Amino acid sequence: MSLDSYLQVNRWKDARTGVGGAEVARRLDHFRAVCRQARVRLTPQRLEIFREVAASLDHPDAETVYRGIRVRMPTVSLDTVYRTLSLLRDLGLITALGPRRESVRFDANLQAHHHYVCMRCGRTWDIEGADLNTRKIPSGVRELGSVVTAQIEVQGVCTACSERPSGRTRTKGGAKP
């Protein structure tokens, strides 16, 4: 089956995640253009792995991506997912957030934004705000080297976790204090 045929058969919008079909389509178009420019083969596996990240607001880790695409591609391996996510990051198609506890999380939203991370469950949300984007990088940071990008990470306990009986809050390394 050609990639174009595959795309026609497998068009979808994941209503669970909240990323709209138009935005997913825009990200997929960008994915195809970058792969062609870099002369990277467009395979159904790469497309599905990227699509899983592109349609998610949950900043999935590799295992979550793997579980999500196994429904549509039962023969894909976890190794393929890891290698493809690394390739997508190298191509500038996704960013890696982390390390978070046991794993790195991935984000296909390349627009300037920041993150809220629940210290109990580890779930990550995008946050935006003009005031966040105008923060200045301290001059001492530039003495360490060049700055390519900067993101603010706000940590707290999400509403869902705060309404549940509390376990102890996780620290940045994943261990409970």
For the segment 112-164, what is each residue's pLDDT rounded down to a tens digit? 888 888 877 878 888 888 788 888 888 888 888 888 888 888 888 889 988 88
Task: Check if the beta carbon of residue 81 is closer than 8 Å to that of residue 49.
Answer: yes
Q: Which domain holds residue 117?
A: 111-177
Residues in the chain, overall count: 177
Shared domain for 130 and 99, answered yes or no, is no
Instruction: Tell me what the mean pLDDT of segment 97-101 comes to.
Output: 58
Shared domain for 22 and 106, answered yes or no, is yes
Q: Say which CATH number the domain at 44 has.
A: 1.10.10.10
Its pTM surpasses 0.75: no
Alpha-carbon distance 34 to 26, whole Å? 12
Shared domain for 79 and 145, answered yes or no, is no
Shared domain for 135 and 93, answered yes or no, is no
Shared domain for 162 and 174, answered yes or no, is yes
4: amino acid identity, one letter: D
Final residue of a structural domain among 80, 110, 140: 110
Shared domain for 105 and 133, answered yes or no, is no
Return the C-alpha torsion angle 43, 49, 52, 53, nearest 10.
Answer: -120
Shared domain for 139 and 88, answered yes or no, is no
Final residue of a structural domain among 110, 145, 162: 110
According to DSSP, the β-strands at 153-156 and 114-118 are: parallel
Q: Say which CATH number the domain at 147 has.
A: 3.30.1490.190
Shared domain for 71 and 89, answered yes or no, is yes
Shared domain for 68 and 129, answered yes or no, is no
Cα-based distances in Å from 148 to 49, 64, 105, 130, 145 = 26, 28, 19, 19, 10
User: Packing angle between helix 62-70 and helix 44-54, nearest 10 degrees?
Assistant: 120
pLDDT recorded at residue 43: 94
Query: Which residues share a beta bridge with 156?
Result: 118
How many domains in the chain?
2
Shared domain for 19 and 94, answered yes or no, is yes
Shared domain for 19 and 99, answered yes or no, is yes
Tokens of 132: 């966040």
Final residue of a structural domain among 56, 81, 110: 110
Give the pLDDT confidence of 4-42 residue by residue, as tens digits: 444 444 443 333 445 778 888 999 999 999 999 999 999
Tokens of 53: 């990240």
Q: List the one residue out of 58, 57, 43 whose CA is nearest residue 10.
A: 43
Between the ranges 49-63, 105-119, 153-167, where is the mean pLDDT highest?
Answer: 49-63
Query: Which residues share a beta bridge with 125?
Result: 116
The residue to which tokens 């809050």 are assigned: 169
Task: Check if the beta carbon of residue 46 is closer than 8 Å to that of residue 65.
Answer: no
Shared domain for 36 and 118, answered yes or no, is no
